[in-house]
Amino acid sequence: MKYLAIIPARYQSTRFPGKPLHLIGGKPVIQRVYEQVAKVSVFSDILVATDDERIYRCVDGFGGKAVMTSHSHRSGTDRCAEAYACFLDKYPINETVVVNIQGDEPFIQPQQIEELLSVFNDSTVEIATLVHTIQDVNLLSNPNVVKVVLSVTGKAMYFSRLPIPYSSNLVESQHGFYQHIGLYAYKGNVLLSIVKLPPSSLEITENLEQLRWLENDYSIKACISAYASTIAIDTIEDAEKAKEYLKQLNHKQQ
């Protein structure tokens, strides 16, 4: 099996335009993501899929590989699929796992990616993702924290921005709650199939694209990660937090 990493990165963002190029400790966010992914030795290639020449030039400037993609994509999955389709001669659909790594997580941990890839030791897996146990009950009421319910075999049953499953007493609940970590891997043929599906009613209702896949009977195997999510850059305030986090990391390494 071949493994291809794709980092979708668009310039326009409602809350933080140009965030892939924002400097964190002297390096653009997209470069920090790329360098973290490069620590995973299994990848034959790492590609940044972008719709903006400024991001393309930035990636080329630090020695990375970038692919120009359409401005019209609604999701990172769509952008990954277009980039992947350019390399089918090198990465055949039945011999490739494509990993979609968000371009706004400059401190993504290589171990998380390795956890995700380990799921494909099971040849029946179509799509894989990561989840993490929720320790802080306050996160359950945060709609920006996506929750997921798992089956006994570790497959995702449903994703929601609401607290799921419902519990009349969260403090005394015996059920474990899981936060979705937005890292995906797909078999090549599955990736090219799911992007052809029209938006589903559940997807539109929750604004979560993975519900389209579930609604169309694709299975998503979840790995319970030993690592919590790192800082995602959605706003300028997040970028300031990231700078402080980097200072702490550098201090620990001294």
Instruction: Compute the mean pLDDT over every residue in the chain, rounded to the nearest whole number.
Output: 93
What does the pLDDT read at residue 229?
A: 79
Question: How far apart (Å, rounded) are the C-alpha atoms in residues 56 and 173?
Answer: 48
Q: Is the pLDDT of residue 247 over 90?
A: no
Vertex 180: Cα angle to 97 and 189 (nearest 5): 20
Q: What are phi and psi of 252, to 5 degrees?
A: -65, -30
Question: How far apart (Å, rounded) are the C-alpha atoms in residues 211 and 209?
Answer: 5
Cβ density class 101-136: b for 16+ within 10 Å, e for less: bbbbbbbbbeebbebbbebbeeeebbbbbbbbebee
Q: What are phi and psi of 6, to 5 degrees?
A: -125, 130
Question: SS3 letters for 123-188?
Answer: CCCCEEEEEEECCCHHHHHCCCCCEEEECCCCEEEEEECCCCCCCCCCCCCCCCCEEEEEEEEEEH
What does the pLDDT read at residue 172?
A: 52
What does the pLDDT read at residue 111?
A: 96
Q: Is the pLDDT of residue 174 over 70?
A: no
What does the pLDDT read at residue 137?
A: 84
Question: How far apart (Å, rounded) are the C-alpha atoms in residues 30 and 32?
Answer: 5
What does the pLDDT read at residue 14?
A: 74
pTM score of the predicted model: 0.93
Token pair belonging to 24: 């964190």
pLDDT tens column, 64-117 = 999 999 999 989 999 999 999 999 999 999 999 999 999 999 999 999 999 999
Token pair belonging to 159: 């994703």
pLDDT tens column, 175-219 = 789 999 999 999 999 999 999 999 999 999 999 999 999 999 999
pLDDT tens column, 1-54 = 999 999 999 998 777 889 999 999 999 999 999 999 999 999 999 999 999 999
Instruction: Tell the residue number behind the tokens 């071949």, with chain if given.
Output: 2
The answer to whether residues 104 and 30 touch, using CB atoms and an 8 Å cutoff, is no
Q: Is the pLDDT of residue 170 over 90?
A: no
The answer to whether residues 159 and 179 touch, using CB atoms and an 8 Å cutoff, is no
How large is the average pLDDT for residues 221-234? 89
What does the pLDDT read at residue 254?
A: 62
Domains defined along the chain, listed by start: 2-132+181-253 (3.90.550.10)
Torsion of CA 12, 246, 184, 103, to 10 degrees: 20
Residue 144: burial class (beta carbons within 10 Å; 0-12, 13-18, 19+): exposed
What does the pLDDT read at residue 213?
A: 98
Q: Is the pLDDT of residue 228 over 60?
A: yes
